[in-house]
Structure 1
Amino acid sequence: MERTGSVSMQDVAKEAGVSPQTVSRVANGSDAVRPQTRRKVQEAMERLGYRPNYAARALKHGRFNNVGVVLSHMTAYGNSRILAGIVDAAAENGYATTIHTLDTVSEPTLASVVDRMKQLPVDGIIIVMESPLPDFDTFVPPQDLPIVLISEDPANHCPTIDSDQYGCSTTVVDYLLSKGHRTVFHIAGPSSTRAAQSRMQGWRDSLEQLGLKVPPTYFGDWTADSGYQAGLALAHEPDCTAVYAANDQMAYGAMLGLRVAGKRVPEDVSVVGVDDSLGDTVPRLNLTTMRIDFSKIGRTAFSMIARQCSGKQVPVGVKHVIPAELIERDSVRDLDA
């Protein structure tokens, strides 16, 4: 059961000068091996091309040391950073990662996604939910397979984690009003996504709670081009001195659109985005934004799965929230200064 190709555990033991039991302990991640001996065995495995038989390990220990991840739009900034956090945390803890995309499912539900993942050698599943799934409230998870949802809404059946989407907006509105702006215009993301809905609701609630008139909402699709079109239109709003865009791509596009239409940023219009995603692609970036730690979301989601795999309880019915951080740059003007 522990043979991979023509290389056996006994071959590795002979090459490393240790017992087959020691090789087994190293292959199964046991701590009962001295570091020097572990390195010797791992080097022998590498030289011989030996790989542990994970099916045999699962039969023996009840685990595959593999976590499944389900998400849509793998190349989207937030999803890619969440996935990187999961993969990194998994690797650091001796886990592999199996990825499945919702795009391949014609009518996805939590039940159908989990049923498909149950056919694979995974110890738990992390599901990244951008949009609501129809059985979110009625889904009953299997007792023998831990599931964590990365979701804006807390689930009453699975542990849930996400960033504070609503709080991003309340922080931005409070920040811009503190700079002397009388109101804040908003470029929202697609209404089909929960992140866009929550960010728009936080913006709206903040203004209404202060008795301020809520300006008309401009909708984009997360892309810089949609922000650019919104910026061109916002330049003709006479009361528009501050714009809050639901992500950095739309915020950056809006800055360009405003400038093409004859407005200066930040002298005439201040702009704030969300996610802090452009630092590696835009030189001399001056966009003020709310930084979301997507990698931490992924790492924490993995730790929640790992705790359940080790028999520990993780609370359900409440959402574990990763707060965002305001990053001040040069796209906001203080009107009171």
Structure 2
Amino acid sequence: MQDVAKAAGVSPQTVSRVANDSNAVKPETRQRVEAAMERLGYRPNYAARALKHGRFQDIGVVMFDTTRFGNARILDSIVTHAAEDGYSVTIQTMSNGAERTLASTIDRMQRQPVDGVIVVLEERISDFVGYKPPRELPVVLISEAAADHCPTVDADQYGCSTAIVDYLMSKGHKTVYHIAGPVTSRAAESRAQGWREALEQIGARVPSMYIGDWCADSGYQAGVALAHDPECTAIYAANDQMAYGAMLGLESAGKRVPEDVSIVGVDDSLVDVVPRLNLTTMRMRNDAIGATAFSMVRRQCEGEKVPAGIKTVIPTELIERGSVRDIS
């Protein structure tokens, strides 16, 4: 900093103001200082800045899997909003071999220079109930269930299912079959619960549930099986990959979509991937989930209190295409 100040003919305080993007520097002075920084290869010392200001301007994000559609969209939203507010993002995953608890996850992240942590909880973990984050480290959970000691946010997993059932029943179907996600998934569990209870509430028959693994092949196998059930006229698949697989499975067994069987998926992950996509789906607003989670953790990092024990619910959106037929 002393070298930059000397080269630019300014004080070290002015160099500090430029490095910290302060508005209290004249444009021509800023330009001179930035030119000296570039010439001398100066980079801000973030460790020193953290010691001075008490923050690293970095948020940790922990996920089970960064490659899944919803997670990738949530992560992209967090990174985008972090950059807009001058924060960096440190990413870790919960590997299969590691102890999958909030305590161990946050302990590992605390070893990194982060100001707060966002944890995307797709699966059940043993210490979710009653977990208390460190007093000095804000933690936000993207979780289907509200946590007692951390702010939480997620899409309306249960409500999206009840809305899909209501939508299909309004088209004249007597019941709705369900292709669920894996049993380890909290979202799949809530979606299945919403499907089941929506049917029970209106007195409709609850068919046997098929359990998939989020992938198209598991949906294909379910579609082939359901093609031989004469009472199956409507299917709700817990994500679009399984829904699209089910469409192909039905068609391979001689059934037409939507003439013979109507199908609705969840997440809208196939748009711009599958040409001439005609799958009706319930869109998850993953961008809003990521933005809300980042806002929650940033506000805590900057001294604001965000209530724990309350879940912020992001509503879903029905996207009607051509895979549902009105048979009423």
TM-score range, shorter chain: over 0.9
1:206 paired residue among 189, 198, 202: 198
1:161 corresponds to: 153
Q: Does 1:289 align with 2:278?
A: no
TM-score, normalization by structure 1? 0.93
Equivalent-residue separation in structure 2 for 1:95 and 1:220 (angstroms): 38
After superposing the two structures, state which structure 1 stretch, 51-60 or 132-141, moved more.
Answer: 132-141
Q: TM-score of the superposition, structure 2-length normalised? A: 0.95
Q: Deviations over 1:45-74 (max 9, x none)?
A: 445432210000000000000111111111
Does 1:119 pair with 2:120? no
Quote the Cα distance in structure 2 between the aligned partners of 1:86 and 1:34.
33
Taking the aligned partners of 1:15 and 1:276, their CA distance within structure 2 comes to: 55
The aligned runs of 1:22-37 (5 Å cut-off) are 22-33=14-25
Alignment of 1:162-311 (within 5 A): 162-311=154-303
Contact 2:130 2:147 in 1 (8 A): no
Q: Judging changes above 3 Å, is the alpha-carbon distance between structure 1 residues 188 and 23 closer, same or farther for their aligned structure 2 residues?
A: same
Aligned residues, how many?
328
Contact 1:199 1:246 in 2 (8 A): yes
The alpha-carbon distance between structure 1 residues 190 and 39, as it changes in their structure 2 partners (threshold 3 A), is: farther
CA shift, 1:23, in A, is: 2.3
1:132 shift after superposition: 1.6
Q: Distance in 1 between matches of 2:35 and 2:279?
A: 48
Structure 2 match to 1:85? 77
8 Å contact 1:148–1:304 — kept in the other structure? yes
CA 1:29 to 1:110, structure 2 compared with 1: closer, same or farther past 3 Å? farther
Determine the C-alpha separation between the residues in 2 that align with 1:34 and 1:224.
58
Question: Displacement, 1:284?
Answer: 1.0
Structure 2 runs not aligned, ≥5 long:
none
Q: Sort the Cα spacing of 1:334 and 1:41 in 2 relative to 1 into closer, same or farther, 3 A.
A: farther
CA shift, 1:281, in A, is: 1.3
Verify the 8 A CA contact 1:16 1:41 in the aligned structure 2. yes
Residues 46, 235 of structure 1: alpha-carbon distance in 2 compared, 3 angstrom cutoff: farther
SS at match of 1:162: strand
Aligned position for 1:63? 55
Tell me which residue corresponds to 1:324.
Answer: 316
Distance 1:104 1:239 in 2: 40
Contact 2:130 2:148 in 1 (8 A): no
Q: Is the 8 A contact 1:28 1:57 kept in 2?
A: no
How far is 1:21 from its partner?
A: 1.8
After superposition, the Cα gap between the structure-2 partners of 1:131 and 1:35, relative to the gap in structure 1 and judged at 3 Å, is: farther
Change (3 A) 1:15 1:89: farther
Mapped partners of 1:175, 1:256: distance in 2: 22
1:133 lines up with 2:138 in the alignment = no
Alpha-carbon RMSD: 1.7
Are the structure 2 counterparts of residues 39 and 151 from structure 1 closer, same or farther at C-alpha, using a change threshold of 3 Å?
A: farther
Residue 87 to residue 20, structure 1, CA distance change in 2 (3 Å):
same
Unaligned residue ranges in structure 1 (runs of 5+): 1-8
Cα deviation, residue 25, structure 1: 1.8
Q: Alpha carbons of 1:223 and 1:53: their partners in 2 closer, same or farther (altered >3 Å)?
A: same
Determine what percentage of the aligned residue pairs are the same residue.
Answer: 69
- What one-letter code is carried by the residue in structure 2 that aligns with 1:74? T
Deviates more, 1:224-233 or 1:107-116: 107-116
Work out whether residues 230 and 254 of structure 1, in 8 Å CA contact, stay in contact via their aligned partners in 2: yes
